[in-house]
Amino acid sequence: MKKAGLVVLISGFGSNLQAILDAVDAGTLNAEVRAVISNRVDAYGLERARLAGIPACVKSRSKGQTRENYDAELAELVQGYKPDLILLAGWMRILTMAFIGRFPDRIVNLHPALPGTFPGVNAIERAYQAYRQGEINHTGVMVHLVPDEGVDLGPVLGQQVVEIRPEDSLEDLEKRIHACEHVLFVKTIQQLIKRMEDKDAKSAAVGVR
């Protein structure tokens, strides 16, 4: 079965990228990571990609460049790798339709909170504070498609509740959430790839009839 082509967009540490790379290595994901692209030159995830022998590049926004123009250039760069899926693994820039419109149903975002909660940056910290104030009693993680410019919003592909314990420090909660993300992200991508493979097999069967 043909491997799914992935392009992973990152902005930072890249632990979720690493989970994907490890799953590809282990054969858990029938995929190849074709490129890792960061908007930040100091993202450690770039080093992870290089260590794995995967093309890694930085796409920074030039001075005065509009978001749409940056996104159109980013889309060109990504399209060059002909990805089946584009994974936003800690990508901390809001994408405009200049990018999203080029890849319908192919952009997948990971967010460290449950659907509809704590969109944007510092989601774990905000959930932790909300818990301390008695506003929530658990948090979670989600993976969703990116259909438009809504922040951390879109059809949910996978979600997992993460408990918060009274004795938790913020670091404890961060650790638990990241561990959960690494599993859920891989599992959800695996399901998506399986769905794509089933669809291909079906259209091939129709083709031979």
Size of the residue set binding ligand GAR (CB under 6 A): 16
- Strands 138-145, 31-38: pairing is unpaired
Spatial contact of 138 and 147, defined as CB atoms under 8 Å apart: no
Shortest CB 184 distance to ligand GAR, Å: 10
Catalytic annotation present for 111:
yes
Q: Which amino acid type is present at position 122?
A: N
> Which of positions 43-72 make contact with ligand GAR (CB under 6 A)?
45
3-state secondary structure (DSSP) of residue 124: helix
CB-nearer residue toward ligand GAR: 78 or 127: 127
Stretch that binds ligand GAR, among 8-16, 30-38, 93-101, 186-194 (CB under 6 A): 8-16
- Strands 138-145, 107-111: pairing is antiparallel
Stretch that binds ligand GAR, among 15-23, 61-69, 99-107, 199-207 (CB under 6 A): 15-23
Residues in the chain: 209
Residue 160 CA from chain centroid, whole number: 15
Distance CA 38, CA 35 (A): 10
Q: What is the CA radius of gyration of the chain?
A: 18
> Which of positions 87-146 make contact with ligand GAR (CB under 6 A)?
89-90, 110-112, 123
CB-nearer residue toward ligand GAR: 83 or 90: 90
- Footprint on this chain of ligand GAR (rule: CB under 6 A): 10, 12-17, 45, 89-90, 110-112, 123, 152, 181
